Amino acid sequence: MPKREPLKAIVIYDPNSNEYSISAHNQDAKEAHRVIKDWNTHPLAGCLLILLNQTERHRTDDPQACRTCRDAAAQSEALYPQARFVRRNVS
């Protein structure tokens, strides 16, 4: 049985306000690369992209409504001090 490619969640982090949003989840490497490439042409001033590994596919379609993504981001060392979640139009 072929090994499944790991999935990624993509977080937009604003270190100035210490806030984050979930941009995408359930992305394979190719899809994550596309999201990052698109981001680089339309960045939000001062924000960073953070990729988080997913251990499994998340059931929620809307990444900003995904509790699993929000919990993973909140526990990430990349968001220190602990950041506050905000919903953003990140399409």
Determine phi and psi for 30, rounding to 5 degrees: -65, -45
What pTM was estimated for this model as a whole? 0.82
**Amino acid at residue number 20:** Y
Quick one: which H or E segment has residue 12?
strand 7-14
Cα separation, 74 vs 77, in Å, equals: 8
At 18-52, the pLDDT tens digits run: 999 999 999 999 999 998 888 876 667 788 899 99
C-alpha distances out from residue 66 to 2, 62, 73, 83, Å: 28, 6, 11, 16
Convert the pLDDT of each residue in 53-87 to its tens digit. 998 999 999 999 999 999 999 888 888 788 888 88
How far apart are the C-alpha atoms of 66 and 33, rounded to whole Å?
21
Residue 86 CA: distances (Å) to CA of 10, 21, 64: 14, 6, 9
